[in-house]
Amino acid sequence: MQVLNWDKTTQKKIRRDYATYFDTKVFKKVSRILSEVRQSGDLALRRYTREFDGIDLPLKRLAVTQGDINRAFEKIQVQFVPLLKQITENVREYYEKELKKSFEINGANGIYLGKHYRPVDRLGIYIPAGTAPLVSTVYMTVIPAKVAGVKSIAITTPPRRDTGEIDPHILSVANLLGVNEIYRVGGVQAIGAFAFGTKTVPKVDMIVGPGNAYVTEAKRQVYGFVNIDMVAGPSEVAILADTTANPDYVTCDLLAQTEHHGGTGYLVTNSKKLVEGMRKRVDSGIIIQVKSIAEGCDVVNEIAPEHLEIMTEEPDKVAQSIQHAGAIFLGDFSPTVIGDYMAGPSHVLPTGGTARYFSPLSASTFIKSSQIIRYTQQALQGAKEHVQKLTDMEGLFLHRISLEARLVKKPSDTPEKESV
């Protein structure tokens, strides 16, 4: 591991490394693919599936059928279903506690203000399957959306190169969670299909889920045509450790991060002994030496990591100084892996320093709000002077008139009798 001291040079290096996530070559290639999907629809999906996944799928096989799903259940082990039930209960229970509630305010003169929260209508979920089928991402995305009340959910995932099929566990988990709209499409073309719609793949309102640099750039480029959860890069873990940390646990968790393509591990510590030990045990990643755990918290807040493990004395107290992190794991027995698979909170997290302004995927991710405003004529009269001054200041005179028209004294509402 590379060993650095915490100074302005190291701070600049971290910021520079994150800046490299944007690649102009990737940008141009993604833009070209999205443009073709928008213009050619299913034909572009078939072309790029053949080019990037090595599978020449007939158009009728882009969509997974119920028969495909039924056959998937024949290929999974029987004990997988009860295991999944326990995990999904953990995830569902966590998100049922965090939903935002609608509210109302009744003010003077009949003023009524409120806010209504509603789920998006239609959601598209991208499930990576390039290096390995991320089965856990299915329940970590579908369940929060279901808890939020999303009615229409579609999944897209790359087909296997050898068979053109989708991993049976992905199909079975999706089916058990009530999602039967699944497509054999991966990469940029899948994001384009969700964003613009094709004959086979209907357009969605929102796209969520992790992916490689091309998928991430595609999500960035279609934002505005649809909503997205976040712009995420390669996975990362930061471990904040002092002299009490178990070096075996630190080693295991840093090595586990290397299983992710492009994954980065940071060790932030004030322990010289730990620094020397990790240099010999772990090849990749960065060690940042700090003078104190308080300074270590400053480092972590600069990194804004996807996963943060705090292996220190009084980790709960240390966590109070952390402002920017996707998920925080406290103590020796809370490794990142438990959050990836079992604990409950989603493992779809902001990366590349974006935890400074993005939040983890949650039930609230799928909720949008509408503001409710109702005034009586008396309340409008009370606001008249303030609105007049502001509309005059901005030169929007027709805006002012739209208020004043409602305050003009009207003749009696009693209709005159028509002469016979």
Q: Quick one: pLDDT at residue 233?
A: 77
N residues, the chain? 420
Q: Quick one: pLDDT at residue 420?
A: 42
Calculate helix-pair angle for 135-148, 168-176, nearest 10 degrees. Answer: 20
Tens of pLDDT, residue by residue over 224-281, are 999 999 988 788 999 999 999 999 999 999 999 888 887 889 999 999 999 999 988 9
Q: From CA 346, how far away is CA 81, in angstroms rounded? A: 20
User: Which among 105, 102, 90, 185 has a CA at the least distance from the CA of 139?
Assistant: 90
Break the chain into its structural domains and give their ranges.
Answer: 2-21+235-343, 24-232+364-369, 375-407
Q: Angle CA(286)–CA(289)–CA(293) in degrees, nearest 5?
A: 115
Bridge-based pairing state of the strands 327-330 and 236-241:
unpaired
Q: What is the DSSP letter of 232?
A: -
Tens of pLDDT, residue by residue over 57-103, are 999 999 999 999 999 999 988 888 888 888 999 999 999 988 878 88
- Whether 327 shows a pLDDT value over 80: the answer reads yes
Q: How confident is the model at residue 412 (pLDDT cuts 50, 70, 90)?
A: low
Report field, pTM of the whole predicted structure over 0.85: yes
Rounded mean pLDDT, 173-185 = 95
| Catalytic residue selected from 169, 217, 302, 307 | 307
Rounded mean pLDDT, 400-415 = 79
Identify whether 116 is a catalytic site residue: no
Q: Which pair of structure tokens corresponds to residue 123?
A: 């959601």
Architecture of domain 2-21+235-343: 3-Layer(aba) Sandwich (3.40)
Instruction: Give 125's strand partners.
Output: 155, 208
Tens of pLDDT, residue by residue over 192-211, are 999 999 999 999 999 999 98
12-47 burial string, b = 16+ CB within 10 Å, else e? Answer: eebeeebeebeeeebeeebeebbebbbeebbebbbb
Integer angstrom CA distances of residue 304 from 96, 213, 350: 27, 19, 9
| Catalytic residue selected from 36, 302, 306, 309 | 306
Lowest mean pLDDT among 177-191, 209-223, 252-266: 252-266
CATH classification for the domain delimited by 24-232+364-369, as one of 3.30.1370.60, 3.40.640.10, 3.40.50.1980, 3.40.470.10: 3.40.50.1980
Please state, for a pLDDT cut of 70, what percent of the chain lies above it.
Answer: 96
Neighbours of 176 (CB within 10 A): 17
What mean pLDDT is reported for the chain? Answer: 91
Tens of pLDDT, residue by residue over 354-405, are 999 999 999 999 999 999 999 999 999 999 999 999 999 999 999 999 999 9
Identify whether 347 is a catalytic site residue: no
Topology match between the domains 2-21+235-343 and 24-232+364-369: yes
Question: Phi, psi (5° rounding) for residue 309?
Answer: -105, 125
